[in-house]
Structure 1
């Protein structure tokens, strides 16, 4: 049975006015399970107009009231986490445990946002001059948009939405049309928490909806996560229309393995970080840099672990699920022939996998290349699938140069028992998030998430204090209350605080 998937407006599900829609698949069976309605520009305008009105009233609410809603939302999402995770598995394909972990990481941001009364505190300086005090406050922007990718349909919206709402903004979320149902379950959690209608909204769609948000004069800011070309487009279009934009782009994350590393630990980490969520993570390890002489042993250790993995329906207890769509699976599989043609050694071919699932599922098993070099498409491109490449390096310095030469700078890891080498790496590597013997260095919610170079467009990262600053504007007030005994008369000199 095919389910109609609507938008969310005015605190309830809403069909919109458009007649265009897109298919939503179960990646484990290849079957169409839903049809998601695509918003028109008029739909976007109507939702934003509602959000403007609701946002004004929400920003005027006390911090105490807003915080009470945040706590209630956190509890509602915690109660329904299994339901949200099941929707993710059904439409994205990642295994259920991975989907539950995604929801948990989003919950952590909601918990961080519950501290809004402390996070939004300003400063106060008493008596900076004769009878003059100075203090600062942070205020909401108004209506903000969040444009989320398919690979984390719950976690990525939750990186932004709780903080934006806690700061007093209204939000319009445009989730991926590939796996949209999790966004509606999150919307229901907001309604259960008592969030006023119109403060949180969901519009589904394609470029029409995206451009409607990027160009709308009442959208003050846009948060985006996706591929680098689209991130650049979102940033340039949004800023050209006067918006504050944070656009997190693509990645090609390297894991450097030094000769003194524990190779069993490194191999476990490479497999876990390379093939979790079928490699559809912006923080996935896609390149292992093996520093001589560990290459042969490390490749053998990784290959042996791949042999023990199971690929299948994410609801059946397998290690790795399918890819999100047939088109994406075919695109990723195409890199295997390209890698061989470029001279890389195909150690494990994921096309030969025997999945535990329906034959029509979007399957591609874990794939391992060795002796990959820059200039090969399997190295240069963000493949976004279960393809792990091993590059050989003669020294630490060569490995560092390789990482720093990448146009991306999202995440990286180093595996070593040498504290000096680790400290040198964390200082010298040109990457925003670094793991030391940690393969996926995603920061906790009270730190901020974001990369360098072509992995980020904009000046601020996601969540943490960067998120608070992104979703608010600062005011500084200089105040003097009249004191007849201290009248100074007219003074045309530049004000000084003597």
Structure 2
């Protein structure tokens, strides 16, 4: 059923990359990486690193820092343009690796690779715009000015759901700013990260500027605790993000944390229901619901609840579940057996709490390889204060919550501890204005899917979804750099 040839795994890419060379974990330990569409497809045995590997990577980044800083942002930007040129030639290789390793449909994997390319191009262009200000001085024959300086070594800890785009949008600004970096990807997606690092190397990145350490919790904890790591940029779960913040705080290490969401689409009674249903299905079941901005709640005005649910269920039931690389697949697998179990447990708990399964709610196995397939699931009658309405599932599971008018719908949408994305469907421009003011979320959408953003726009949430500066925009420099100011008086000649 798999129709594209899987990306080959070079022997070096099974290892870490530290101080300019590929090398195994100090312990020699390995972790097997398999295809979530078919677990009999073994991608490789990748380094399972520990604290010693993390320390070696930080030492390499520290040593490379002064020369990399001295290069200047314009030359660093030029190198990123070279990376982007190579990256464009390898889009198919990246897409095949993502589909095989993470489980995204090939079209979704290609879209991720294209987004990563646009991020690289945008960031490279910022090399000529990494600016400060010239300000009036209070004394004669004097200037006052500000400029940015890199904070130093940064640890970049990335998740499995966007194994290429998220590492790219952390690595590129880190390096452009003059920081050196240690990248620790998810142990579920080591191969895609290795291909990204190899592209930077092939473009001529100096040794030690970007280091790759594969592994899990031990590596992450060692990086967060290291006294030479000036900042930690993390995308992942709320519990891990809180732990990073608590560990980094005593030494005042800078943190940038993106921690997921429980995103709502509000559908008011005057909405275009077909457009809303299309957007909801795209947001809830695209990439198997494994996005921080995924649509996990529909908050619908009571008068249109039934016709909207009918449309959403019909579209969901028409989705074809199958291997990521199969041409006829609409919904690929979730990334692991643990994720599949969590989705099914969430459905079971929701039913126990009084919800009704309108479609899906089960694993899919018939006629498929041995993978982690979950049927697209819609639950109705979900109480606003129930667990399914409050907590992130991170899978193809959609909760429908009934509301009575705009004020009730907005109160329900804002009742969770997260604030990543918020969406409204309505023809009432006054309500659009109100929603843009009232949503407690960082990325807002009107009459369009509640997922996705452009590289030059800030990627950020509110409340427990985000801590620290945004990513993917000029605002990201507030994480990777710190300010300097100078007052200069010139002597009389």
Under TM normalisation by the shorter chain, which class is it?
over 0.9
Distance 1:230 1:169 in 2: 24
Say if 1:110 and 1:390 are closer, same or farther in 2 by CA, change over 3 A. same
Distance 1:109 1:178 in 2: 23
1:68-117: CA deviations, max 9, x gaps? 10110111111111111111111111101111111222222211211233
Structure 2 residues not aligned, in runs of 5+: 1-7
In the alignment, which of 1, 7, 12 is matched to residue 16 of structure 2? 7
- Contact 1:6/1:15 (8 A) holds in 2: yes
Whether 1:351 and 2:352 are equivalent positions in the alignment is: no
In the alignment, which of 160, 180, 183 is matched to residue 193 of structure 2? 183
- Which residue in 1 is equivalent to 2:251? 241
Per mean C-alpha deviation after superposition, the further-off stretch among 167-176 and 123-132 is 123-132
Whether 1:205 and 2:205 are equivalent positions in the alignment is: no
- Which residue in 1 is equivalent to 2:74? 64
Distance 2:33 2:237 in 1: 21
Q: What is the Cα deviation at residue 177 of structure 1?
A: 0.1
**Count of residues paired in the alignment:** 482
SS in 1 for 2:300: strand
SS in 2 for 1:53: helix
Whether 1:393 and 2:403 are equivalent positions in the alignment is: yes
In the alignment, which of 11, 28, 35 is matched to residue 26 of structure 1? 35
Whether 1:475 and 2:484 are equivalent positions in the alignment is: yes
SS in 2 for 1:422: helix
Structure 1 residues not aligned, in runs of 5+: 485-498
- Which residue in 2 is equivalent to 1:134? 144
In the alignment, which of 158, 174, 180 is matched to residue 164 of structure 1? 174
Taking structure 1 as the reference length, the TM-score comes to: 0.93
Distance 1:54 1:355 in 2: 53
Q: What is the Cα deviation at residue 126 of structure 1?
A: 5.5
In the alignment, which of 90, 110, 122 is matched to residue 132 of structure 2? 122
Report 1:283-294 matches (<5 A): 283-294=293-304
Q: What is the Cα deviation at residue 356 of structure 1?
A: 5.7
Distance 1:13 1:85 in 2: 23
SS in 1 for 2:233: strand
SS in 1 for 2:145: strand
- Which residue in 1 is equivalent to 2:352? 341
- Contact 2:360/2:375 (8 A) holds in 1: yes
1:424-444: CA deviations, max 9, x gaps? 100011111110112234332
- Contact 1:412/1:441 (8 A) holds in 2: no
SS in 1 for 2:321: coil
SS in 2 for 1:94: coil
Q: What is the Cα deviation at residue 20 of structure 1?
A: 3.0
Q: What is the Cα deviation at residue 133 of structure 1?
A: 0.6
- Which residue in 1 is equivalent to 2:282? 272
Per mean C-alpha deviation after superposition, the further-off stretch among 58-67 and 221-230 is 58-67
Q: What is the Cα deviation at residue 357 of structure 1?
A: 2.9
- Contact 1:67/1:166 (8 A) holds in 2: yes
- Contact 2:137/2:487 (8 A) holds in 1: no
Q: What is the Cα deviation at residue 282 of structure 1?
A: 0.5
Say if 1:356 and 1:115 are closer, same or farther in 2 by CA, change over 3 A. farther
Whether 1:173 and 2:183 are equivalent positions in the alignment is: yes
Distance 1:155 1:100 in 2: 11
Taking structure 2 as the reference length, the TM-score comes to: 0.94
SS in 2 for 1:134: strand
1:332-385: CA deviations, max 9, x gaps? 112222111111010102426466631x21111100101101332222221100
Distance 1:396 1:309 in 2: 31
- Which residue in 2 is equivalent to 1:99? 109
- Contact 1:253/1:285 (8 A) holds in 2: yes
SS in 1 for 2:98: helix
Distance 2:10 2:71 in 1: 37
- Contact 1:41/1:209 (8 A) holds in 2: yes
Distance 1:302 1:451 in 2: 27
- Which residue in 1 is equivalent to 2:334? 323
Q: What is the Cα deviation at residue 200 of structure 1?
A: 0.9
Report 1:27-46 matches (<5 A): 27-31=36-40, 32-46=42-56
- Contact 1:412/1:431 (8 A) holds in 2: yes
SS in 1 for 2:26: coil
